[in-house]
């Protein structure tokens, strides 16, 4: 595949000496790729999965939400950098919390998308189950990256905010981990029984 000019431009901006885009945006883009793979497999799996159309709609919604977070990550981080120069302690705390909640939202999206992909690994169109598995593994990598960013950001927060944030993160991580590393054998919670034919 020839490199698309818009993709090349984004990668060039990612590698530039600037604060944005950075790791959070990269994680969000990878997560949106996982959503696109889920959407593609669901669209091809109408003959295998009764609610394939609903799965496709969910995958599209989550993909778009992840892509929006790629842009939001840069905006909230930019505001934080500006406040670090001249903001009050209260303003800084609010900005730090807002910045941490962007990668947290990525993990929460991954938690919702993971069981859908795991289900498609098992029940989707056979020829495309490898694509679903690729999506699941991309998702797991993106979620791990985003979770790491949340933990780094949380270190700068006051104790009540830090505890709340990390509690929410751990819950979302459990949902992702419940789908296992191998989409061919997901945990039961991530592979619901197919609707009756």
Each residue's pLDDT, cut to its tens digit, for the chain (197 residues) gives 456 678 899 889 999 888 788 899 999 999 999 999 999 999 999 999 999 999 999 999 999 999 999 999 989 988 888 888 887 888 999 999 999 999 999 999 999 999 999 999 999 999 999 999 999 999 999 999 999 999 999 999 999 999 999 999 999 999 999 886 554 444 443 444 344 33
Give a yes or no: residue 29 inside a domain: yes
Give a yes or no: residue 80 inside a domain: yes
Give a yes or no: residue 123 inside a domain: yes
- Parent domain of 135: 23-181
In angstroms, the CA 48 to CA 124 distance is 6
Give a yes or no: residue 14 inside a domain: no
Give a yes or no: residue 133 inside a domain: yes
User: How many domains, in total, are found in the chain?
Assistant: 1
Cα 129 to Cα 82, 90, 126, 133, 141: the distances in Å are 46, 49, 5, 6, 18
In angstroms, the CA 110 to CA 15 distance is 25
pLDDT of residue 139: 97
The secondary element (H helix, E strand) that includes residue 72 is helix 52-86
The secondary element (H helix, E strand) that includes residue 158 is none
Q: What is the DSSP letter of 44?
A: H
| 144: nearest Cα among 1, 10, 30 | 30
Give a yes or no: residue 132 inside a domain: yes
Counting runs of H as helices and runs of E as strands, what totals does the chain give?
6, 0
Structure tokens at 174: 């459990």
What does the CA dihedral 33, 34, 40, 46 come to, rounded to 10 degrees? -160
Residue 111 is part of a domain; what is its CATH number? 1.20.120.680
Give a yes or no: residue 191 inside a domain: no
In angstroms, the CA 166 to CA 137 distance is 23
Give a yes or no: residue 1 inside a domain: no
């Amino acid at each position: 595949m020839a490199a698309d000019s818009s993709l090349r431009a984004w990668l060039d901006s990612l590698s530039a000496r600037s604060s944005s885009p950075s790791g959070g945006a990269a994680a969000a883009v990878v997560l949106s790729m996982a959503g696109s793979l889920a959407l593609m497999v669901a669209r091809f799996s109408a003959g295998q999965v009764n609610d394939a159309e609903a799965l496709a709609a969910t995958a599209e919604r989550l993909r778009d939400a992840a892509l929006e977070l790629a842009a939001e990550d840069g905006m909230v981080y930019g505001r934080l950098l500006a406040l670090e120069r001249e903001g009050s302690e209260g303003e800084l705390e609010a900005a730090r919390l807002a910045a941490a909640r962007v990668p947290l939202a990525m993990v929460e999206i991954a938690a919702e998308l993971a069981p859908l992909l795991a289900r498609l690994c098992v029940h989707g169109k056979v020829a495309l189950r490898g694509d679903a598995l690729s999506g699941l593994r991309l998702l797991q990598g993106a979620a791990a990256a985003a979770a790491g960013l949340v933990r780094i950001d949380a270190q700068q927060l006051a104790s009540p905010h830090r505890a709340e944030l990390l509690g929410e993160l751990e819950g979302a991580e459990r949902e992702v981990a419940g789908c296992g590393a191998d989409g061919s054998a997901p945990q039961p919670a991530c592979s619901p029984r197919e609707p009756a034919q």
